[in-house]
Structure formats: C-alpha cells, structure tokens
Structure 1
Amino acid sequence: MANKNLTPIIISVIIHVAIIGILVWNFNWFDSEQQSTQYVDAPVQAKLVTAPVRPKPDANKPKPRPQPPKEQPKEQPKEEPNKEAEQQKQLEREQEIAREKEIEKQQEAEKLKQQEQKRLELEKQKQEQQKKEQLEKEKQEKERLAEEKRKQEEAEKKRKAEEDRKRKEREEAERKRQQEIKRLEQEMAAQEDEFFEAELDSVRQGQILSEVEKIKILIAAKIIRNWDLPAHEGRCVIKIKTAPGGVVLDTQAISGDSEYCRTGEIAINRADPLPSSDNPKVADELREIEFTFDPSKKNR
C-alpha cells in the first residue's frame, strides 16, 4: 500500500527532472553560441586599425539549431482508487451497522426486561389478590363458624329452656292433678257422692292406674262439676274430640235422653280445656273419648 502511494510522487519527480534537464541543455547551447561570436569578433577588432573590414560570414559556421518544440506537460496519470480509504469506509459502515445492531439488541433486551418486570409485577399483584381473597375466605369461614357456634349455643340454650319449661309444666300439671285429687276427696267427703267414692276407692286401695286412666278421672271430675243434673232420671252417651292440650274440638250425642245430652254438652264446653298430658302417646289416646252421663251408675 505504501509503494502504491509513492508511485505518483516518483512520476512527478521524474517529470520535473526532465524539464530541468531540458532547460539546462538549452541554456548551455545558447551560451556556446555567444562564446563563438565573441571569439570571431576579437581578431577583427585587432586588425581594424586602418579600415574596418566586415568579415564575411563563415560558410562553414554551423547554423543555429532550431529550438526544440516546447515539450507539452504530460497528462498526470489518474490516481488509482484509494483501497485503504474504501476499506476504512467499509470498516466504518460495518462498525456502524454493528453499533446499530447492538443498539437494537440493547433496545430489544430492555423491552424484554420491561416486559418481564411487568409480568412479574402482574404476577405479584395476582398473588397478592389471591392472598387477599384467601384471607377474606378464611375470615368469612371463621365468621361462619362463629355464627354457627353461636346459633348452636343459642339453640342449645333454647332447648334447655324448653326442656325446663316442659319440666315445670309437667311438675305444675302433676301439682294440679294432686290438688284435683285432693279437692275431689274433699268434695266427696262433703257430698258423699257414690260416683266420686267409686273413682277414689281405687286410689285409696293403692291400685295402679295408667296415665290415661288418671287423666280420664280428672276429665270426668271436671265435667261433673260443670254439669247441671236434670231433675228426672236419664242417661246420655257423648263422644268428645280433643286437640293437644285438652282443647275440645267437637261433641256428638250418640244416644240417650235429649235433656241429659243437652246439659251434658253444655257441661263439656264449660270444662274446656279438659285435663291432658304432655306425653304424646297419652294425649293421642285422649283425642277421642266417650263420656256417659248416668247418675245411677258409678262408671262413666
């Protein structure tokens, strides 16, 4: 590459040397002519004492050489393309392309980094939301369990209160039943009624009565207390339908004296509600009973 750069300089030096050589040659030739002319004139001047004689031209004198034509400057050869510069430019282009690619690569990497950061942020938000929802579910579950426990405790409290209420009702019913028996005994002692005497004999004799039989005795006693006995003799059989608690739903005269039946139904309605039991089975057997109004018989 260095030799190629020196080529134009060498050519230029050769051209300048050639021009200088031509100029020197011309100058020497002109100087030699002047010297020849002076050399001829000198003796003439010495001999012209009397009369100057013009010397004849020397036929053998060499004619002056014609001046060589002026050499035209040679056309400077075109310089060859600077391959080193082209290579430098190519290198710079490649470096620029490489820089652009590197910038694009960095931009793409930054874009991917931002996308990854965004993804991680979204994932973090999602996890936080899931955690928040999980905590909310756990809170709701705790509240539900607490509410369920509270309801269970409240239900247990109500159940115990209901059991206590029923127990007290049973105790009160038993107390009233005992009072009723005692009252019947007192009433029997005062009236000496054969009916009450027969019903109470079984109690005095220590006979074991079923719960149904005991309730029927109480029903009969309550109805009789509310019955206005007709003046004439007679009898009447009445079917009684009751609801839980001894509530009278319906009465129906099956047979007997009309006056006995009329006064008997009035007595039943006056005695409403009739004695009953908290025992569902006992109450079920007392839903429909037949009661006989007959003063001449002990059994009703």
Structure 2
Amino acid sequence: MALKYSTALVLSFILHCIIAVVLLFGEFSSHEKPTPTMTATAVTQENDKIEPIKAVTVDKTKLEARVKQIRKQKADEKAAEAKRIRDLERRASDAQKKRAKEQARIKSLEKQRKQKEQDKKRADEAARQAKAKAEQADKLRKAKEQEQQQAEKAAAAAKAKRLREEAEAKKAEDLRKKKEAERKRKEQEARERALEEQMLAEQMAQEMAERQKARRAQMQTEIQRFTALITQTIQRNLITDRSTMEGKSCKLAISLAPSGFVTNVQATSGDTTVCNAAKTAVLKAGTLPVSKDPEVFNEMRNISFTFRPEF
C-alpha cells in the first residue's frame, strides 16, 4: 500500500517538473508579422530560418500563403502545447484525486478494521453472555420440564374429572331433554284436549242456542195462543155497544195466578167505555186460560195486550 502512494507522489512530481520546463523554454516570443509593405529581403530573411531559398525572386502570393501556413503551424503548436499542459494538469489532478480517494479508502478500511475489532469484542462478550444465558436457560428448561410433567399429571387428572363431569352433564341434559319433550307432549295433548273441549262447548252452545231459539219460538207460539184464548174469554163476557165501542180499543195489564185466577186488572190506555167494559168482562170471567208450561206461564204472569171489541 505504501509503494502505491510513493509511485503516485513521484509521478506527480515529474509532471509538475515537465510543466515548469515547458513554461520556461516554450516559444512565447512574438515576432513581427510581415506586412504587405515589407520588402522581399525581409521576408526572405524570415523564411531563411525555416528553409533555404533557392530562387532569387519570390512570388508575392506564394509568400503570403507560406507566411499564413507558418503562422497556422505555430498556432497549432501552441494549441497542442496548451492541450498537452491541460492534459498533464488533468492527469495530475486525477492522480491527486485518486491519491485522496485511496487515502480515504485506507482510512475507511482502517475504520472498518477497528469496527470489526470492536464488533468481535462485542460478539465475544455476547457469546459469553449467551453461554451464561444458555446455561441459565438450561437450568430453567429442566425446572420447567419438571413443572410440565407435574402440570401434565394435573392436566390428565383434570381431564379425567372433566370427562366424568361432561358425561354426568350429558346424562342430566338428556334427562332434561326427555322431560322437556314429555312436558311439551303433555302440553300439546292438553292444548288438543282444550281445543276439542272448546269446539265441543261451542258446538253445545250452538245447539243450546238453537234449542233455545226453537224453545223461544215455541213459547211465543204458546203465548200468542193463550193470548188469543184470553181475548176470546173477555169477548164472551163483554157487554158491547156498537155505537159507543166500534173502532175503539183499550190496553189492559192483567196479573194472573198459576191457576189462571185474575189477581189484578188495570186499563193503561184507550177508550174509557171500552176499558170499563173490558175490566168488567175480565172480573166476570174470574179465571182466564193459562198454559201449564211453567216457562210460558212466567211469560204471561203479567200480560199486557190491546183489546178491541168485535161486532
């Protein structure tokens, strides 16, 4: 590594020396440019430095062309020299940059080496600590294995107990479901019985209503029949007067005993003559036709009807 740096320094020194020599001995003097008024002798003297002139007389056009060629050649040489110097400077700068880069790389490598040493120390320390931890972990592992064995035994016992409890719970649940099913079955039967009883009761009620309706119609017929008989009885015992009674009526309220005996008679409205004659006829009869059916009699115990004399 030191040899590389020495070589770079030597090259840099040589390049700087070359640049100094070029600057000191290069062609930097300015020559008087030939003008159109210059004599042929002056031009010839100038050209003698380049090449010998064999002709005695020189064509002016060729002379100017030659002068331009010389000037261009010198300008090209100066440009080439300037380019060479720039290349040398560039190479020197590149070498310096390379040297700086190499130095930076060396510093980086040195830093990396130191870092690796520190990393190694830390790794060794970490390994030592890891070993200690591993030993401690091994002790803990053995202790945990022992605890695990004890826990497994306890878990096995707990599992056996849980299985027994689950079996007992399942048995109890099956019994509960069986009882629940039995309860639901009985409830369903009860609902069905209640529905049947309700339907039967409704049917009986309907039949009863129909019987009552028929009975009521029968009773009404009986009431109408006996009302007609009572009317006929009153008519038979009535003393009539067409001139005073024809077209007139009286509403009577009569109370009867079960035997038909008249216990009370009242005229509630109507013609007075008809009412007095009707009351006399009722009292004269004394007993009026009544039904032997208790229900019909109860309906006619206090009878009220309108009496119209017949002629």
- Structures share a fold, TM > 0.5? no
Q: TM-score, normalised by structure 1?
A: 0.35
Q: TM-score, normalised by structure 2?
A: 0.34
